[in-house]
Amino acid sequence: MAVVALVSTAAAAPAFELNEDRLVDLSHAFDERTIYWPTARAFTREGVTHGETPGGYWYAAGEFCAAEHGGTHLDAPIHFAATGADAAAVPLRRLIGPAVVVDIAERAAGDPDTVLTVADLDAFEARHGRVRAGSVVVVRTGWAARWPDRRRYLGDATPGDASRLRFPGVGRAAAVRLVERRVDAVGIDTASIDPGRSRTFEAHRVLAAANIPVLENLAHVDLLPPLGAHVVALPMKITGGSGGPLRAVAVLP
């Protein structure tokens, strides 16, 4: 029986028996449909060998190339803070922890420019208690249901043009509140922690300045309860990287 203990900075978590618990994949697959920022290089897989060899055995291999930011991925603090940790230096303890899921999907459905606000966090805490230090806060906007329709997901599908994007994000004041709560990471089911219309990327800058990593383009967050799940979000360990592809899962006890 496989037993894993997931530990956060808030408190030691109970052991989870993975053969009995429910695992939720929070990552979109990487392929030719994966959504990247309009100005970034998309995912490609080339030089693919796939078949029987002259020696009589099966062999499959390929090469992939992509920008650091696209698909389900990590934003390392260095992405928006000169002294922030790079993708290889983000502590594991910040990538594994109890999930706090704040849902703004109903409002976002009628307003693609909406952002997570301090009022949203106040309402969550009034119902569920104070957001604990060491939490991985996940913002649910409902946008993952639009994947992989690039136009619906980003609000615009013009190649090389990021000036007309529209999708929800996190407001600056809410980002400041999350820093005050000493959360370990912040994730969202959109292409950016800042709303698509942002030009100053204030949520990125606030969180990066506090060395808080960001998880973007998360999938299936609608399957997570407000409290009780644990997130394990492990990116490629890229030295000097400003981010990288991420395999994130949630454990539901």
Active site amino acids: 79
Structure tokens, 92? 């594991």
Tell me which residue of 54, 37, 57, 33 sits closest to 45, measured CA to CA.
Answer: 33
Tell me which residue of 137, 143, 108, 142 sits closest to 124, measured CA to CA.
Answer: 137
H/E element holding 105?
helix 105-110
H/E element holding 25?
strand 22-25
Give whole-number Cα distances, 145 to 65, 97, 135, 177, 188, in Å.
26, 25, 25, 28, 13
Structure tokens, 50? 């796939």
Bridge partners (DSSP) listed for residue 99: 136
d(CA 140, CA 30): 21
